[in-house]
Amino acid sequence: MDKKFEREYFELDSQDKHWWLAVRRKIIKDLLSSNFSQPSSTKILDFGSSSGEFVRYLQKLNYDVSGCDVSEEAVIKGQQKGIVNLTVLKDNCLDFPSNSFGVVLALDVLEHVEYERSAIEEIHRVLKENGLFIIFVPAFKFLWGIQDEISHHYRRYTVHSLLAMVQKSAHFEVIKKSYFNTFLFLPIALIRLLSKILNINRESDLEINNHFLNYLFFHIFNFERKLLRYLSFPFGVSVLLVLKKK
């Protein structure tokens, strides 16, 4: 990951001000609360936890959460801020016993992993029987842009391609599959396509200096979040899969 972008992401994630990060947290909270009535008895692994801000967020909700990340710098930064249970991930090998976790989260992580199937196999190993695997990834190759480049993404997905890859790697039952960030799909797609055609360089998609736009996007995406509890969307900027280990 580009170091400048990584520092920017650390800052935004810790402040929870960016519309995308703020609503993404709410989506995960919805999924967890709808499946687990007692947070303290739910052991969660955040796979690709960066500096651990989301680990801390879930710990404050009384979940038993651990995090791991390939970036030693990110893990150290989190530990310096007092976030506990963070470890450095090496070669996709999870330093946890088999059947350890009731939930594994991979939130916009698999697109960073060159050999994604080995990561899926390890995640399946550490999940308990009937444990949940929650995946967020960016959607559609034609949306490839500067954010993918600076984030060192290997790919973007469709629901079908993600599900096919996962099912080749390990045995899961599908609980939910959907695109999301659907209401903002057209303007985001238009901006990205025009940026390519006109060769407009933006440093990062995380750049939103206009507070009104951030406020507007938050409320649009947050309204969609409420619908996502009951619906699955046919297209969007991202893909959501909720899987159960069988």
pLDDT tens, position by position, 164-220: 999 999 999 999 999 999 999 999 999 888 887 877 665 555 566 688 999 999 999
At 133, the pLDDT band (50, 70, 90 cuts) reads very high
Helix (H) or strand (E) holding 245: strand 238-245
Assign a CATH topology to domain 3-245.
Rossmann fold (3.40.50)
Please tell me the distance from the alpha carbon of residue 180 to that of residue 171, in angstroms, as a whole number: 24
pLDDT for residue 11 is more than 70: no
Query: Does 6 have pLDDT greater than 80?
Result: no
Task: Enter the tokens of residue 121.
Answer: 């196999």
Distance separating alpha carbons of residues 136 and 220, to the nearest angstrom:
19
Which one-letter DSSP state was computed for residue 131?
A: E
Whole-prediction pTM value?
A: 0.92
Nearest residue to 98 (alpha-carbon basis) of 119, 116, 122? 122
Residue 231 Cα distances to 27, 177, 178, 198, 216, angstroms:
13, 10, 8, 36, 22
Between 4-8, 58-62, 65-69, 184-188, the lowest mean confidence (pLDDT) is in 4-8
Interatomic CA distance for residues 119 and 165, integer angstroms: 11
Q: What is the pLDDT of residue 207?
A: 61
Q: How many CB atoms lie within 10 A of CB 240?
A: 23
pLDDT for residue 228: 98
Q: Which residues are CB-neighbours of 5 under 8 A, at least 6 positions away?
A: 150, 151, 204, 206
Report the C-alpha gap between 55 and 65 in whole angstroms. Answer: 6
Interval 33-50: pLDDT, tens: 999 988 989 999 999 999
